[in-house]
Amino acid sequence: MQVAVPGSRLVRTPPVIAMVTGAPQRLSLFAAAVLLAVGMPCGAKPFTIASPDGKVAATISDAGGVVSYTVSLDGSQVLAPSTVGIQSDGLILGKAARFGKARTRIVDETYALPGGKAKAVNRARIATIPLDTNGYHYSLDVQVADDGVGVRLRLPAKAGRKVQADLSTWRLPGNPIAWATHYDPGYEQPYTTASLSALDAAPYGLPLTAKVGGAYVTLSEAALVDYGDLAIKRQDGNMLAGFLPVDAKGWETGSEVVQPWRVTIVARNLTALVNSTLIQNLNPPPAPSLKNADWIIPGRSSWQWMAIGAPKFDDQHQWVDRTKALGFEYYLVDEGWSEWKDAWPSLKSVVDYGKSKGVKIWLWVHSREVADPEKRRAYFRRAAETGIVGVKVDFPEAPNHWWSTWYRDVLRDAADDHLLVDFHGAVKPTGMERTWPNELTREAIRGHEYHITRYQRKLDPDHDVILPFTRYVIGHGDYTPVVFNPKELQGNSWAHELAQAVVFTSPFLCFGGDPADYLNNPAHDVISALPATWDETLVLPGSEPGKIAAFARRHGDAWFIGVLNGADQASLDIGLSFLGRGPWKMTRLADQLNRPDAFDRREEKVNSASSFQVHMAGRGGFVAWIRR
């Protein structure tokens, strides 16, 4: 069978189902199942569906009356029997389901995705399976990719439908170490390390990453639109049960209900984990007008909020001048500009001055000013006419089904006026940036602004070294990195702070510190050379979530190494075998172990055979800039 997949080449679908032994059972609990190519009656034997590379497999079973799926990597189970379900109009969809004949296809594509690498790779087998529960017809989608599995239900449009609950679960085998965060609608809680059984009874947010055997598994959701945000709770048997904390009473709709994908990312190592694009792959491609839009340009930005608070009109030229001196592309004018005298004309004068210096201006806006569709379009039109290139939209409400759709609507309306977008106080990313590439970043992270500006709370020493393997696996994050002011370090070293800009990916890379601190710093040249996006990413040996995060990233012909250290002093051996042939120049910026607000800076000549050892303070770090 040949299948033409939009946005990909024509491919031949190979056999994808293998029947395995197992006693027939009756269905009893909510769940879903997959059948590719033939129909599957109740009590059928399990089926295994392999990814295109044959390394990831989903096995579908109705043993014990519960239709469930497991996930394996290289033949080893990394997800125990787990389910997907929705309760609607009093009916549990996914329970006692009968299956029709599936429609199947294979996708094999690459596309541009600014972030940790130049291209996203999407290779997967996809099936849509008709389901019938007590005469009610709906569908199950399953995608088995080279980097994991996604499943979801789709319910047809029905007048007055009540969506009451989400009943999805994940069950991890054994009692693995997990890196998790408590649920917060604004996603600003810290990440911590614990065994799965040690997670408390409070709700947890996604993503959650666990070490299952020798593999890494990240759980999350993708394509969240017109549906409530999902949280999880640990239940007996270490099952993680999903629920909708903001939509606890459900909602009514007459439209089709498309459950966000329930995603299990799997990886053999940390490099594979951080390079997964499964979350983005599970979203639709952009419209042709957005696919290669020349106005969607990643870049670095200065920002005054953490340095001085509300922006002062009288010193805006100075901020633009310092942004230009750093070589940054953008300057973000944050909350408080609307209090200027003649606010919009005053803002226009800043924009015009920025243009004269080659610096483009972003603008802060409260979500309440762009909640109503007509007011939003008028606001965006005025911003664009003023010369603004991007909007930072702050303080959205908790992500129920209406507000999850609002994110898409903001991006659509912003795109009409060629505006880039940064969401703050936001729900976690679910891959919407693939469909709407004008979303360059979103917060949904406990970053510097939380600790320093808003609450003056201490940084958690292991939080930074967990984030690259949890939150950043699912998408970009606006951490607002790199502060050098000693009163703001809160235990971190300068090298740790600078490494954040290498390790934490954000195509709108908004630096948190005062540009004057960067211009007067010994690392000024390295800061100016740092890019906002990367062509290639490697996680270096010695990295361990919660302990050390060591990354090598390439942009063009230059490599940067960024190492974040956790609570304790540590040493790390770094080899440069990833370099190409010939000689290279390396600038090293290491900790001065007895002084956090200083660098041990050295210049060296290196090649692909070179190696060296780095000594880091607790909450320290290391940065290297390597170029021809």
Backbone angles phi, psi at 348, to 5 degrees: -60, -35
**In the predicted model, what is the mean pLDDT of residues 598-609?**
98
Q: Which of 417, 424, 418, 370 is nearest to 392 (CA)?
A: 424
- Mean pLDDT of all residues belonging to the chain: 91
Residue-wise pLDDT tens digits, 138-167: 998 999 999 999 999 999 999 999 999 999
Residue 438 clears pLDDT 90, i.e. is over it? yes
Give residue 597's pLDDT: 97
Distance between CA 485 and CA 516 in Å, rounded?
A: 10
Give residue 17's pLDDT: 38
Residue 268 clears pLDDT 60, i.e. is over it? yes
Give residue 102's pLDDT: 79
Helix (H, G, I), strand (E, B) or coil at 568: coil
Distance between CA 420 and CA 71 in Å, rounded?
A: 37
Distance between CA 272 and CA 120 in Å, rounded?
A: 12
Give residue 96's pLDDT: 82
- Which of 181-195, 201-215, 312-326, 452-466 has the least mean pLDDT? 452-466
Distance between CA 435 and CA 220 in Å, rounded?
A: 18
Q: How do strand 68-73 and strand 56-61 relate by DSSP bridges?
A: antiparallel
Residue 98 clears pLDDT 90, i.e. is over it? no
**In the predicted model, what is the mean pLDDT of residues 77-83?**
95
Give residue 518's pLDDT: 98
Model confidence at 63, pLDDT cuts 50, 70, 90, reads: low
Give residue 269's pLDDT: 98
Residue 622 clears pLDDT 70, i.e. is over it? yes
By the 10 Å C-beta count (0-12 exposed, 13-18 middle, 19+ buried), 19 is classed as exposed
Domains in the chain (CATH in brackets) are 14-282 (2.70.98.10)
Residue-wise pLDDT tens digits, 215-247: 999 999 999 999 999 999 999 888 999 999 999
- Which of 5-19, 301-315, 544-558 has the least mean pLDDT? 5-19
Q: How do strand 76-82 and strand 68-73 relate by DSSP bridges?
A: antiparallel
Model confidence at 453, pLDDT cuts 50, 70, 90, reads: low
Distance between CA 270 and CA 539 in Å, rounded?
A: 6
Give the sign of the dihedral formed by CA 523, CA 525, CA 528, CA 532: negative
Give residue 4's pLDDT: 29
**In the predicted model, what is the mean pLDDT of residues 202-215?**
97
Give residue 11's pLDDT: 30
- Residue pair 54/108 in contact (Cβ under 8 Å)? The answer is no
**In the predicted model, what is the mean pLDDT of residues 322-330?**
98
- Residue pair 306/513 in contact (Cβ under 8 Å)? The answer is yes
The three state secondary structure string of 265-318 is EEECCHHHHHCCCHHHHCCCCCCHHHHCCCCCCCEEEEECHHHHCCCCHHHHHH
To which H or E segment does residue 412 belong?
helix 401-416
Q: Which of 602, 580, 582, 579 is nearest to 590 (CA)?
A: 602
Model confidence at 10, pLDDT cuts 50, 70, 90, reads: very low
Specify the pTM: 0.92
Residue 190 clears pLDDT 90, i.e. is over it? yes
Sheet arrangement for strand 621-627: 536-539, 548-555, 558-565, 621-627, 584-592, 595-606
Distance between CA 431 and CA 279 in Å, rounded?
A: 5
Q: Where are the beta strands (DSSP E) in 469-582?
A: 508-510, 536-539, 548-555, 558-565, 570-575
Residue-wise pLDDT tens digits, 366-415: 999 999 999 999 999 999 999 999 999 999 999 999 999 999 999 999 99
Give residue 65's pLDDT: 52
Residue-wise pLDDT tens digits, 26-54: 222 222 322 222 334 445 567 788 999 99
- Residue pair 38/21 in contact (Cβ under 8 Å)? The answer is no
Give the pair of three-digit tokens for residue 341: 């005298």
Beta bridge partners of 124: 107, 145
